Homo-oligomer: A and B are copies of this chain.
Amino acid sequence: MTSLNGQTIGFIGLGLMGKPMARNLKAAGAEMTVHNRSQGVIEELSGTGMTPAKTPADAAGAADTVILMLPDTAAVEKVLLGADGVISGLRLGGLLIDMGTTKVIATRAFARDVEAAGGDYIDAPVSGGTIGAEGGTLTIMAGGSEEAMEKAAPVFEVLGQSTTHVGPTGTGQVAKAANQVIVGLNIGAVAEALTLAKKAGADPARVREALTGGFADSRILEVHGKRMIDGAFTPGGKCVTQRKDLFQALELARELGFEMPATALNMALYDKVIEAGLGELDHSALIKAIDPD
């Protein structure tokens, strides 16, 4: 197992994803300084030998590597650039890794700010959900310089089962946007196909089985197709989160001057599910927009 002995890590954002990730880094030997908006989790983690930091600047000042796992772009902006933000405490040559799903164009601006403060920036969003965070089996999509990637490699080895260096800063977030487009649209595909099977008098479970191994096979058919058949919609990834990610991808496409019609329709179907009061269910609940029964 990769050892992080002697590494100092500041971790900011200890929610459903961040908390198990911080625990895995600690278990691998890193000295952890942690900061979170709400304090319950900080008390819990300080009981396991992690050091609480009062502000993002304090967390950054205590560590060579700072990891952000925050819910959205506004939170990243505040933690980086706000009063007592990371930038004001960052060590010279410090490494900032944003592992949340953050907007691409904002990411490129944040990277310039961090570099101007003498640090390195990597955007490294993940796929794999809480199960991947807990098991250290996340899929990591990273953008940044070769140098920064070398520094970050041991951390990624602890947190993920595969890391792809996509390209320069921002391209990790581009890959994550592409990931979320495919996830949403593949869920929509399986939802229409299994509804067709059911309404046409076939057993959707047998149809799913028949399709496995052929050209229609996908992780979504395996995992979320089974959820749809079982009606098991405890998240996992929520409809509201998937909807937010689709919105960001569409916003990026608009900024780049082209259309993603299937993604736009997919987001409209998520809106329908959210309007029906089902937004906190797993994103496979999209099938309720096709087959409300």
Measured CB to CB, the residues of A under 8 A from B are 104, 127-129, 139, 141, 143, 161-162, 164-167, 170-171, 174-175, 177-179, 181-186, 188-190, 192-197, 199-203, 206-207, 209-211, 213-221, 223, 249, 252-253, 256-263, 265-266, 269, 290-291
**Do A262 and B189 touch (CB < 8 A)?**
yes
CB-CB under 8 A from A174, the residues of chain B are 196-197, 200-202, 207
Known: A217-B219, A260-B290. A182 touches B164 (CB 8 A): no
CB-CB under 8 A from A193, the residues of chain B are 178-179, 181-182
Extra contacts besides A139-B213, A258-B291, A262-B265 (10): CB < 8 Å:
A139-B211, A141-B207, A170-B202, A181-B189, A185-B186, A188-B262, A195-B260, A218-B221, A260-B290, A261-B290
Known: A175-B211, A210-B141, A215-B179. A203 touches B262 (CB 8 A): no
Interface centre among A164, A178, A211, A219 (most CB of B within 10 A): A178
CB-CB under 8 A from A129, the residues of chain B are 215
CB-CB nearest 3 A-B residue pairs: A218-B218, A185-B189, A164-B210
Q: How far is the CA of A178 from the CA of B217 in the complex (A)?
A: 12
CB distance from A65 to the nearest CB of B (A): 21
Q: How far is the CA of A188 from the CA of B193 in the complex (A)?
A: 15
CB distance from A155 to the nearest CB of B (A): 17
Q: How far is the CA of A211 from the CA of B193 in the complex (A)?
A: 23
CB-CB under 8 A from A252, the residues of chain B are 196, 200
Given B141, B161, B192, B202, which contacts A175 in the complex, CB threshold below 8 Å? Answer: B202
Q: How far is the CA of A129 from the CA of B215 in the complex (A)?
A: 9
Given B127, B162, B186, which contacts A218 in the complex, CB threshold below 8 Å? Answer: B186
CB distance from A181 to the nearest CB of B (A): 4
CB-CB under 8 A from A177, the residues of chain B are 196, 200
Known: A174-B196, A181-B189. A164 touches B206 (CB 8 A): yes
Given B170, B182, B210, B290, which contacts A201 in the complex, CB threshold below 8 Å? Answer: B170
